[in-house]
Structure 1
Amino acid sequence: MRRNLDGLLFPRSVAVVGATPIPGKIGNAVMQNVASFPGPVYAVNPKYSEVLGRPCYPSIAALPEPVDLAVIVIPAEGVLPVLRECGEKGIKNAVVISAGFKEVGKEGAQRERELVRIANEYELNVLGPNVLGLISTRVGLNATFAPRTALPGQIAFMSQSGAFCTSVLDWAWKEKLGFSHFVSLGNKAVLNECDFLAAFAEDPETRVIVAYLEGIQDGPRFMAIAREVSREKPIVVLKAGRAEAGARAVSSHTGTMAGSDHAYDAAFRQCGVIRARTVEELFDFAYILSRQPLPKGRRIGIVTNAGGAGVMAADAAEWEGLSVARLREETLQALAQKVPEEAAIYNPVDVVGHATLEQYQTALELVLADPGVDLGVALSAPHPILRFADLARVVSQAQRTAGKPVAVSFMAGELGEEAEAILREAGIPSFFDPARAVRALAILAKYAEVRTRPKDPPPVFPVERERVRVLFAEARRRGRVRLGLEAMDVLSAYGIPVARGGLAKTAEEAGRFAKELGTPVALKIVSPELTHKTEVGGVRLHVRPEEADRVAWELLRSLRNRFPEVQIDGVYVQEMLPPGREVILGMVRDPTFGPLLMFGLGGIYVEVLRDVAFAVAPLSRPEAEELLELVRGKKLLTGVRGQPPVARAALVDLILRVSQLVAENPDILELDLNPVLCYPDRVVAVDLRLTVSEEDL
């Protein structure tokens, strides 16, 4: 459900509860800021009859009319009665600036739970508690206690950190960066990032949505909204907490390699969110996305009067996934006639240091006009003849004429106010570092691709769900939550191809199974406590059918003698398959986003090189295809050194079926298919490790 936040973001009237005439108090700072609001503003405080020249009312109930928004700045213990008063008065929106809730311990957490209950009872939109407040420049509202307000602009910003908000406001004022909305999320008791993401998407004054987040409350909801919004407006997020503070106990390969940050990376990629690594990137990306057009491709043109800067830009283009454009012959001929004889006319185009302003301008215009160039970067070092203001004017004109995105890197300590004003008016971002300029341009290319990504829904295969439910119920009845090869029927129920085999509880049964298979077999110990079979000597390979009973007897005796306290259920008898390309496919259940799939190449690639990629299930077919492309060793799947390619369609199908399995069965907590053997005509799961919840979910 999408909430209507118009009364919160675009109020027509505001009340400040806790307004005070005493300087230095937060209630005074908020009232000072709200006083500039052009609509009716009411002060509420039983201690005063007047605050800052306005009548002051003793309570919400005493107000002459219901306001659109109540801003609450009182001690925490008084907040709940005021919220109830708001509900009774018909006020539907509140900003609770007050601290003293779940961030301070058990008593505060209980108070916050009661706040949520009251909000639900009266259908209140509550921002906070424990927030700086919010700013909406479209209606002239500054409902914060920050010493600065926001300039008008097209960037909607939300932050989980109030202190970061004040820092950004101060910095943005100096940089003349404007915002449509500026929201401090605080404890997110009622409203969270999902609600504001949806609201900002519907605001015509907002072109880019930017967020600083330390966590997401509802991962699936966030992904659903972001998938839709990112096709219309870019979303840039700085997610803090990339490093894992500690490792949780897991039994699978996937679990040991999958951290929460992998889930955020995967989720953001899948729903089109651009992830910034630093504050600098956050606003570099936000600015260029809000001011420059999107490119049609990834081919960059580079024009410079300093050779080193051109080389740095070309290197950065490769790092950022851009290609240095190959200029047309007509462009090269025109450049040769217009620039100094010593100039390098092949991209990067270096017009050399003594080129005139007109020669620099001509080179830039020719490069941007080339049909093989999608975006451009203009570079310059400090020059005794060329003024940065003149260069800025030239670049701005060239960008307007070409209609292609451009960034500049004038490698100087200061450009001067005139140059900065010209570039700002044109919406052209300026950086000292050429690599930073190229990185910002690369984000434009990335977002252009986000807008055109396929909309395919996850496929739904016909499967035997009841069969899986019965298998898990039986495992729980026997006190088993960690399952191995004995649970291969779970895969079969979802149409996932598995090697033929079965569980033998005795050596004699193993012999019969082997003869029925009619091929050399692998014998693998089955025990809930010996999950790493090879390490404990629990595997025998290439066993002939006629020897299977003897080898099984020896294997069982050996393991039972070595591990007398360990439960051993028998041996799994499995057909021996020819060597194939090994891959691993696994899943762990992420607390924020749910089932997190991991795909990688097997053997040394996963154990040592950790060449793996992640995606949040359920996957669409294009997302499953993308997963194969994300591993560094992907060429091994397409065939190298005379080897044929693997059956890619079959591998994608297997990924999609596992995706459906883990999405439809939340009681699967961890899963490993390792290895899956890939051949030119098929793929086969050979080994399984699976953990289910102790109770049916």
Structure 2
Amino acid sequence: MGTLSTLFAPERIAVVGATERTGSVGRAITENLLAAYRGETVPVNPRADTVCGVESYETIAAVPGQIDLAVVVVPPTIVVAVVREAAEAGVENVVVITAGFSETGGEGAAREGELTAVANEYDLNLVGPNSLGIISTGVGMNATFGPDNALPGSISFMSQSGAFITAVLDWANDRDIGFRDVVSLGNKAVLSEADFIREWGDDAGTEVIMGYLEAIEDGEGFIQAAREVTQDTPIVLVKSGRTEAGARAASSHTGAIAGSERAYKTGLEQAGVLRVETVQDLFDFAGILNGQPLPERGDVAIVTNAGGPGVMTTDAVGDSSLSLASFTQDTLSALTETMPAEANIHNPIDVIGDADIGRFETAIDLALADDRVGCAVILTCPTAVLDFDAFAESVVSLQATHETPISVCLMGGDSTREAAARLNSAGIPTYFDPARAVRSLDALWRYRQISEREYVPPKTFDVDRERAREILDAAAERGQPQLGIEAMELLSAYGIQTPAGAVVDSPADAVTAAQDIGDPEVVMKIVSPDIPHKSDIGGVKVGVPLEDVYDAYEDLVTRAREYQPDATILGVQVQELVAREEATETIVGMNRDPQFGPLVMFGLGGIFVEVLEDATFRVAPVSERDATAMLDEIKTAPLLRGARGRKPVDQQALAETIQRLSQLVTDFPEILELDVNPLLATPEGATALDLRLTIDQ
């Protein structure tokens, strides 16, 4: 694939399907280009000599000279032929507006496959099909059939919904919000969101990337692209489809807790994307990231002339990742000297309702000068003594002096409009709702932390990959999609500690296995791929004395037969009894997501894992830093650290187990689901006591 620079800065654009027919898409695109595009627009229409007063050509091959971009709006049955002709004519960039491809299924999907093949053959940058088009204000290009062009700005915007783009442009133009580039992704047959993220990450004219996505087909590629770009350029996305209705039914604990939304949430967080759930937050976050510096710390000062809104703002801070700043003694002393006795000098500063611009300005100045303040919310309600226009000029001046990020609440209507316009023109966002002001500052602070994250690649452990392959291949040959404790050697092959033991198929062999372990007592478990929850049927016996092993074997098999007569019984596992004093049952597992791949889970284990759902996730491969962070993210993390006088467990061993399992499921994509539950964590290490996995045969 070639560079995208000529896609957004073409010198000549051909509109294949240009026409003067009233109400047609071809006419709308041609007129939009002729209205503002600073390059040359070339209509292509075999049945017209001119289109909109411009000479037209019969085919794109007949156009003299180089065409940088072809916008294709012809019937779907001839799109592939037109795109091939454009490619053979030396065109590198194509936007296919035409619908009737994979979104229609069947024949359309096959047609899209042909289109993709042509694009790959000629190394085309292809947007669409089923796209509204693209905009680049840098060259005045509006190659869409939307009713509005974008105002110039430094936000680049992509969307899977063309209708959403038209609505956004109408709304943004009304508020003087500008854009750098706008892309309607369409069906993403070739270029995807990851390609545009990379392009805009390298574009000096793009300060913020904003988007609306419905699906991400290549989750791994998206994470890799976004992780690099978010070091310097913030990405704010709305991802629709958050419900679990479409999640794949799962048989493992991990699969039951995971799901498509969990994978998206985890993947976007790892990529450093600021995900929002509302269009309002999408623009609030993009706006403040585009206009304000990043805070040096997450402590916020509040300055207000109304006590109630100040309390509302304080509550909003408590709901965010920010904290309320504690002023230095110097600041408090200065506020005491300059504020009336009725004022509150502690955070939030209440300059009270009779404050004029001078008092407000003094309080803001002192708050922003405090070294303990990383950002500030300034709130004002209309009063007879406060001039909003003067207030706006003062805030603009103070923010420029201190270079501290600010959000402003102008809690009024018509009287605040000019002040809001002045503040917004200086890059200082304004709101009516204090909660929005705080959320926006919180986005700044969270992006500051994202931009400072250092990506550390995952470790690669020395493992017995060949033995693991033998175990999985043998299961596939037997037609056995689900494996249990009979496959514990799979974990051992990847260096995950397991108890001594063996799977046996007779009472006598059970006695021999118990004697080989050499302990006075053992654990015995029924082995059946058809009985995943062994404890529920009494299929697990703990602390079986050697003299009872023979009878215990027969009892376990009898229980299994009574519970499910047609179940496949592979035997009984005889296992070393692992001491559980000072132990905590945890779980580590994986569910393979169709878009993001292996989704690794860690959490509190045992029989209540699905009830408590105390778990955290990462998209594999998992680095040491991420594995260590996962241990701290569960609600019951204090149990691992030694709560109530207990000894702390070996967290290093837990983190290493997570990484080794991550390597296992990355190495073998046929593993669809996997649970190690319980993974017994003790002060001496971490031991896998049980295993369940599903493979794609």
- Aligned twin of 1:381: 381
Distance 1:561 1:88, change over 3 A: closer
The unaligned stretches of length 5 or more in structure 1 are none
TM-score (norm 2): 0.97
- Aligned twin of 2:443: 443
Query: Which range is displaced more, 328-337 or 112-121?
Result: 112-121
3-state DSSP of counterpart to 2:617: strand
Deviation string 1:455-509 (CA, Å, 9 cap, x unpaired) is 2110111100001001111222222221111111111111111222221211112
Query: Which range is displaced more, 133-142 or 311-320?
Result: 311-320
Distance 1:88 1:423, change over 3 A: same
Deviation string 1:398-426 (CA, Å, 9 cap, x unpaired) is 21111111101122234544212211121
3-state DSSP of counterpart to 1:142: strand
Query: Which range is displaced more, 205-214 or 512-521?
Result: 512-521
3-state DSSP of counterpart to 1:641: helix
1:153-552 equivalences in 2 (<5 Å) = 153-414=153-414, 416-517=416-517, 518-552=519-553
- Aligned twin of 2:5: 6
CA positional deviation for 1:575: 2.1
1:648 equivalent to 2:632? Answer no
Task: Write the distance in 1 (CA, Å) between the matches of 2:417 and 2:33.
Answer: 32
- Contact 1:454/1:622 (8 A) holds in 2: no
Task: Write the distance in 2 (CA, Å) between the matches of 1:3 and 1:216.
Answer: 22
Amino acid at match of 2:623: S
3-state DSSP of counterpart to 2:126: strand
3-state DSSP of counterpart to 2:490: helix
Deviation string 1:596-615 (CA, Å, 9 cap, x unpaired) is 01111124763323121111
1:625 equivalent to 2:625? Answer no
Task: Write the distance in 1 (CA, Å) between the matches of 2:424 and 2:602.
Answer: 45
1:62-141 equivalences in 2 (<5 Å) = 62-141=62-141
Task: Write the distance in 1 (CA, Å) between the matches of 2:415 and 2:291.
Answer: 20
Which 4+ stretches in 1 moved above 4 angstroms? none
Query: Over aligned residue pairs, what C-alpha RMSD do you find?
Result: 1.5
Amino acid at match of 1:587: M
Task: Write the distance in 2 (CA, Å) between the matches of 1:607 and 1:121.
Answer: 48
3-state DSSP of counterpart to 2:612: coil
- Aligned twin of 1:608: 611
Amino acid at match of 2:542: L
- Contact 2:2/2:92 (8 A) holds in 1: no
- Aligned twin of 2:574: 573
Query: Which range is displaced more, 534-543 or 205-214?
Result: 534-543
- Contact 1:519/1:575 (8 A) holds in 2: no
Provide the identity percentage: 49
- Contact 2:355/2:386 (8 A) holds in 1: no
Distance 1:76 1:455, change over 3 A: same
CA positional deviation for 1:577: 2.4
3-state DSSP of counterpart to 1:608: helix
1:560 equivalent to 2:561? Answer yes
- Aligned twin of 1:30: 29
CA positional deviation for 1:636: 2.1
- Aligned twin of 1:684: 687
Amino acid at match of 1:164: F
3-state DSSP of counterpart to 2:645: coil
CA positional deviation for 1:249: 2.9
Task: Write the distance in 2 (CA, Å) between the matches of 1:38 and 1:270.
Answer: 40
3-state DSSP of counterpart to 2:495: coil
Distance 1:568 1:605, change over 3 A: closer
Task: Write the distance in 2 (CA, Å) between the matches of 1:681 and 1:404.
Answer: 49
Task: Write the distance in 2 (CA, Å) between the matches of 1:563 and 1:170.
Answer: 63
CA positional deviation for 1:384: 2.3
3-state DSSP of counterpart to 2:361: helix
CA positional deviation for 1:621: 1.1
Amino acid at match of 2:349: V
- Contact 1:628/1:634 (8 A) holds in 2: yes
CA positional deviation for 1:289: 0.8
Query: Which range is displaced more, 172-181 or 18-27?
Result: 18-27
Amino acid at match of 1:484: G
Task: Write the distance in 1 (CA, Å) between the matches of 2:75 and 2:210.
Answer: 31
3-state DSSP of counterpart to 1:139: coil
Distance 1:288 1:20, change over 3 A: same
Task: Write the distance in 2 (CA, Å) between the matches of 1:250 and 1:376.
Answer: 47
CA positional deviation for 1:562: 4.3
Task: Write the distance in 2 (CA, Å) between the matches of 1:446 and 1:415.
Answer: 33
CA positional deviation for 1:368: 1.0
Distance 1:519 1:292, change over 3 A: farther
Amino acid at match of 1:180: R
- Contact 1:621/1:656 (8 A) holds in 2: yes
Distance 1:142 1:575, change over 3 A: same
- Aligned twin of 2:20: 21
CA positional deviation for 1:652: 0.8
Distance 1:3 1:600, change over 3 A: farther
Query: Which range is displaced more, 411-420 or 398-407?
Result: 411-420
- Contact 1:132/1:184 (8 A) holds in 2: yes
Task: Write the distance in 2 (CA, Å) between the matches of 1:246 and 1:449.
Answer: 33
Deviation string 1:239-298 (CA, Å, 9 cap, x unpaired) is 110002245332100111111111111111112111111111111111111111011121
Amino acid at match of 1:235: I
CA positional deviation for 1:377: 0.8
Deviation string 1:299-331 (CA, Å, 9 cap, x unpaired) is 111111111212121221121111111110000
Deviation string 1:402-456 (CA, Å, 9 cap, x unpaired) is 1111101122234544212211121011111111111110111111111111221
CA positional deviation for 1:515: 2.4
- Contact 2:257/2:610 (8 A) holds in 1: no
Task: Write the distance in 1 (CA, Å) between the matches of 2:415 and 2:116.
Answer: 51
Task: Write the distance in 1 (CA, Å) between the matches of 2:500 and 2:331.
Answer: 63
Deviation string 1:36-55 (CA, Å, 9 cap, x unpaired) is 21112111112221222211
1:674 equivalent to 2:674? Answer no
Task: Write the distance in 2 (CA, Å) between the matches of 1:181 and 1:257.
Answer: 39
TM-score (norm 1): 0.97
3-state DSSP of counterpart to 1:232: coil
Task: Write the distance in 1 (CA, Å) between the matches of 2:554 and 2:603.
Answer: 35
Task: Write the distance in 2 (CA, Å) between the matches of 1:558 and 1:632.
Answer: 36
Deviation string 1:13-35 (CA, Å, 9 cap, x unpaired) is 11111222233221111111100
CA positional deviation for 1:353: 1.2
Task: Write the distance in 2 (CA, Å) between the matches of 1:325 and 1:583.
Answer: 38
Task: Write the distance in 2 (CA, Å) between the matches of 1:53 and 1:233.
Answer: 42
- Contact 2:132/2:162 (8 A) holds in 1: yes
Deviation string 1:511-562 (CA, Å, 9 cap, x unpaired) is 2222222142221100010111011221112211222122222222332344
The unaligned stretches of length 5 or more in structure 2 are none
CA positional deviation for 1:379: 1.0
Deviation string 1:645-664 (CA, Å, 9 cap, x unpaired) is 22111111111111111111
Task: Write the distance in 2 (CA, Å) between the matches of 1:519 and 1:442.
Answer: 59
CA positional deviation for 1:221: 1.1
Aligned residues: 693
Query: Which range is displaced more, 645-654 or 411-420?
Result: 411-420
- Contact 1:161/1:186 (8 A) holds in 2: yes
